[in-house]
Amino acid sequence: MGSILVSSLPIIWRAEASEADYEQARVERIFNQRRPSRYPRAVVQATEEHHVVEAVQLAIQQRCRVSVRSGGHSWAAWSVRDDAILIDLGGYHFMSLNENDRVVTVSPSSTGNVLNGYLNAKGLMFAGGHCPDVGVGGFLLQGGMGWNCKNWGWACEQILAIDAVNAQGELVHCNAKQNSDLYWCARGAGPGFPGVVTKFYLQVRPSYSKMLSTAFFYPLSHYRTVMDWVTKISPGYDGDTEIVAVGATPPTELGIHEPCIMPLFVTFKDSEDEARAALAQANKSRPDGALLELVNQPTSLAKEYQNQAAANPKNHRYCAENAYICNDADVVTVLEEAFTTLPHPKAFSLWYSMNPCSRRSLPDMALSMQSDHYFALYTVWENESDDARCKAWVRDIMTKVERHSEGAYLGDSDFQVRRTKFWTDENATRLMELRRQLDPLGIICGYLDVEDGSGVNGLANDHEWT
Ligand SMILES: Cc1cc2nc3c(=O)[nH]c(=O)nc-3n(C[C@H](O)[C@H](O)[C@H](O)COP(=O)(O)OP(=O)(O)OC[C@H]3O[C@@H](n4cnc5c(N)ncnc54)[C@H](O)[C@@H]3O)c2cc1C
Ligand SMILES: *[C@@H]1O[C@H](CO)[C@@H](O)[C@H](O)[C@H]1NC(C)=O
Ligand SMILES: *[C@@H]1O[C@H](CO)[C@@H](O)[C@H](O)[C@H]1NC(C)=O
Ligand SMILES: *[C@@H]1O[C@H](CO)[C@@H](O)[C@H](O)[C@H]1NC(C)=O
């Protein structure tokens, strides 16, 4: 340790850098244009694994916290923390494949798009996040709702092992046998993971040569019929087909200039016949009255990434929220306001079918919260002058919806705004105990709640409204 080691670190100190350089390093790659007013004491722009080790050791020496940025896509910019040493992994790239075992080893800032570009050339895929630029780091630690999650399960179930720098500044390998506590946390602790992951070892699957999609666009006056239909047919639907319902104004090129309710089906198959067969049930049983029907359209992962990127434009202001609606709730009624009163033409609401995944028993890991119905709001706008109105709309909807929910997904949450259950009681208790054991000094920032105060204690995992 000491000055020699420290001086080899690519580090920008707030107290020394120019304001422009510091600001660039502070918010680089942060997806949400609503910038946080939180200021790290330094930013380490890691390009090598040992930089992460040195950065954590430096924080221990300085008695300050570390925060981590992989893809920069957490809505609330969790990587930006007051007086912490921010480890930015954006310049640290690693990717290697063991083709025999179909195991890919990747650095945390690798995006879904880059990873799948690499795998696709070998006839393989990883069912990562829907948006091309989400980093695998934040995504996997939260659980990861990847492509066709409802059938293929959580992305974190494909984590075979990780390498991580623990809160004592040591690089350790973690799997089911070795450092198994950290491995347990890595699958569902999210931003409360008590260490810094440097590599993920992931099981990948063969890619699919025939993907087709079907989309129906209905006026909002058909909301109840359409939502009732799509929620009913989803549980028993074909096992390679992802199903969502989106409330949004369709892309202008489609010529529908009003908000719609849109059930969307994407199927992953190896032959045209199989793909058509998988989508036939939707076409046969769909309600009448669609403004537009795009049935059995050829698609690909690359094309789906493009659609996602268009729906989630860069340089915009975002407020995301979500809830797992109870299996026995009247989902159509509970979500009606969210789907029919969107506050901005770019905002959208989403119902994401999770059954049958939600009815399986999960492996023993931190991730433990799920239901048949994942509901999220992605409120998108451009002007700061709309901040208050858009945020108020989200708050108002969630105050009513949360009473019909089991809890929420870390990935679309902001604990500064709303706290609820993110794990089953048992798993939350274990997780918070492990965090206290593994990082007793709170070196790793953890969950960003009100005033960034939760620290070593973590989250309460309670419904605040009860
Ligand atoms: C446009 C968009 C689309 C999305 N689509 C999906 C989706 O389809 N499915 C889904 O599940 N989620 C989705 N998300 C949510 C996304 O998964 C989360 O926001 C996730 O946190 C982003 O990961 P990141 O690495 O890009 O973010 P970052 O902001 O870089 O990381 C978030 C936090 O995770 C922790 N973390 C990240 N990397 C490490 C590491 N190496 N070691 C320790 N801790 C780490 C840190 O606390 C960090 O602050 C989407 C988000 C956006 C903005
Ligand atoms: C979908 O259903 C409609 C109405 O029943 C039918 O006219 C159309 O041919 C079907 N499309 C396909 C591709 O099967
Ligand atoms: C965590 O939850 C899963 C199921 O969701 C369960 O199988 C496991 O035993 C739980 N583990 C602990 C320690 O509570
Ligand atoms: C944003 O604000 C500017 C200036 O007030 C205005 O001209 C523009 O139309 C606004 N954009 C949107 C999308 O509201």
Q: Over 90: is that where the pLDDT of 448 sits? A: yes
Ligand nearest to the CA of 275: 2
Peptide bond into 356 cis (omega under 30): yes
Do 391 and 301 reside in the same domain of the chain?
A: yes
The closest ligand to the CA of 290 turns out to be 2
CA dist 453 and 250 (Å) reads 41
CATH number of the domain that residue 392 is part of? 3.40.462.20
pLDDT digits (tens, 9 = 90+) for 249-276: 999 999 999 999 999 999 999 999 999 9
Beta bridge partners of 216: 293
Determine whether the shortest distance from the Cβ of 370 to ligand 3 is under 6 A: no
Do 239 and 137 fall within a single domain?
no
342 in the same domain as 269: yes
Tokens of 466: 């009860």
- Mean of the pLDDT values across residues 23-49? 98
Distance 375 CA to ligand 3 centre (A): 23
Element spanning 166, H or E: strand 159-166
Query: Which residues span the domain enclosing 127?
Result: 108-206
Give the three-class secondary structure for 202.
Answer: strand
Ligand 2 contacts (CB < 6 A) are: 283, 295-296
Name which residue sits closest to atom 13 of ligand 4, judged by CA. Answer: 382
* pLDDT exceeds cutoff 60 at 138: yes
Residue 369 near residue 407 (C-beta atoms within 8 A): yes
User: Do 355 and 395 have their domain in common?
Assistant: yes
Q: Which tokens hold the place of 193?
A: 């993971």
Angle at 417 between CA 412 and CA 422, to 5 degrees: 50
- Span from the CA of 411 to the centroid of ligand 3 (angstroms): 20
pLDDT of residue 4: 43
* Nearest listed ligand to the Cα of residue 297: 2
Amino acid sitting at position 311: A
The answer to whether 139 and 158 are in contact (CB under 8 A) is: no
User: What's the CA-to-centroid distance between 253 and ligand 4, angstroms?
Assistant: 22
Q: What is the pLDDT of residue 3?
A: 42
Residue 15 contacts residue 28 (beta carbons within 8 Å): no
CB 319, CB 349: distance < 8 Å: no
Higher-confidence position of 218 and 464: 218
Question: What number of residues does the chain have?
Answer: 466
On whether residue 451 sits in a domain, the answer given is no
445 domain-assigned = no
Task: Determine the distance separating the centroid of ligand 4 and the alpha carbon of 383, expressed in angstroms.
Answer: 6
Same domain, 350 and 394: yes
Same domain membership, residue 220 and residue 287: yes
Share of the chain above pLDDT 70, in %: 98
Shared-domain flag, residues 193 and 256: no
Name the pLDDT band for 432 (thresholds 50, 70, 90). Answer: very high
Q: How far is the CA of 402 from the centre of ligand 1 (A)?
A: 23
Q: Which residue minimizes the CA distance to atom 10 of ligand 2? A: 283
Q: What is the mean pLDDT of the chain?
A: 97
Q: Residue 466 — very low, low, confident or very high, per pLDDT cuts 50/70/90?
A: confident
Q: Please write the tens of the pLDDT for every residue from 59-86.
A: 999 999 999 999 999 999 999 999 999 9
Q: Which of 220, 162, 148 is nearest to 193 (CA)?
A: 162
Domain boundary among 206, 227, 260: 206
Instruction: Give the chain's domain count.
Output: 2
**Residue of 180, 187, 358, 362 with the most ligand 3 atoms within 8 Å of its CB, for mutation:** 362
Is 439 within 8 Å of 452 (Cβ atoms)?
no
**Whether residue 250 is found in the same domain as residue 378:** yes
Rounded Cα–Cα distance for residues 10 and 92 (Å): 12
Q: 66-69 and 85-88 as β-strands: parallel, antiparallel, unpaired?
A: parallel
**pLDDT-based confidence at 169, cuts 50/70/90?**
very high
- Residue 1 predicted with pLDDT over 50: no
Give the number of the ligand closest to the Cα of residue 38: 1
User: Could you report the per-residue pLDDT of 173-184, keeping only the tens digit for each?
Assistant: 999 999 999 999
Task: Give dist(CA 305, CA 398) in Å, integer.
Answer: 28
12 within a domain of the structure (yes/no):
no
- Does residue 250 lie within any of the structural domains? yes
Query: For residue 177, is it within any domain?
Result: yes
Q: Is 455 part of any domain?
A: no
- pLDDT at position 10 over 80: yes
> Which ligand is nearest the CA of 425, by number?
3
Cβ 430 under 6 angstroms from ligand 3? yes
Q: Which atom of ligand 2 is nearest to the CA of 295?
A: 13
CATH of the domain at 177: 3.30.465.10
Q: Based on the domain organization, do 233 and 377 belong to the same domain?
A: yes
Mean pLDDT value of segment 339-352: 97
Instruction: Specify the pLDDT at position 413.
Output: 98
Domain end position, chosen among 181, 206, 231: 206
Give the model's confidence band at 402: pLDDT under 50 very low, under 70 low, under 90 confident, else very high. very high
Reported as a pLDDT band with limits 50, 70 and 90, residue 2 is: very low
Q: 109: how many CB neighbours lie within 10 A of its CB?
A: 24
User: Environment class of residue 123 by beta-carbon count within 10 Å: exposed (0-12), middle (13-18) or buried (19+)?
Assistant: exposed
Asked if the structure places residue 148 within a domain, the reply is: yes
Which residue, of 412, 441, 459, is where some domain finishes?
Answer: 412
Question: From ligand 1's centre to the CA of 15, what distance in Å?
Answer: 29
Residue ID of nearest Cα to ligand 2 atom 8: 283
DSSP letter (8 states) at residue 2: -
Mutate which of 383, 384, 386 for ligand 4? The one with the most ligand atoms within 8 Å of its CB, which is 383
DSSP per-residue codes, 354-397 = -TTGGGSPPPSSS-----SEEEEEEEEES-GGGHHHHHHHHHHH
Asked if the model's pLDDT at residue 8 lies above 90, the reply is: no
Q: Which residues of 130-164 are buried (b: 16+ CB within 10 A; e: fewer)?
A: bbbbbbbbbbbbbbbbbbbbbbbbbbbbbbebbbb
Please give the structure tokens belonging to residue 9. Answer: 């670190």
Q: Determine whether the shortest distance from the Cβ of 434 to ligand 3 is under 6 A.
A: no
Residues 311 and 391 in one domain: yes
State both tokens at 367: 């991730």
User: What pLDDT, in 10s, does the model give residues 367-382?
Assistant: 999 999 999 999 999 9
Over residues 316-343, mean pLDDT:
98
Residues with Cβ within 8 Å of 387's Cβ and at least 6 positions away in sequence, in order, are: 34, 317, 381
Domain presence at residue 383: yes
- Res 6 pLDDT > 70: no
Please report the atom of ligand 1 found closest to the CA of residue 130: 8
Are 124 and 193 in the same domain?
yes
Stated pTM of the model: 0.96
Q: Is the CB of 368 under 6 A from ligand 3?
A: yes
- Residue 143 is predicted with a pLDDT of 98
Q: How far apart are CA 435 and CA 371, in angstroms?
A: 26
171 C-beta neighbours (distance < 10 Å), count: 17
Angle at 157 between CA 133 and CA 406, to 5 degrees: 85
Q: How confident is the model at residue 7 (pLDDT cuts 50, 70, 90)?
A: low
Considering the domain architecture, whether residues 300 and 241 belong to the same structural domain is answered as yes
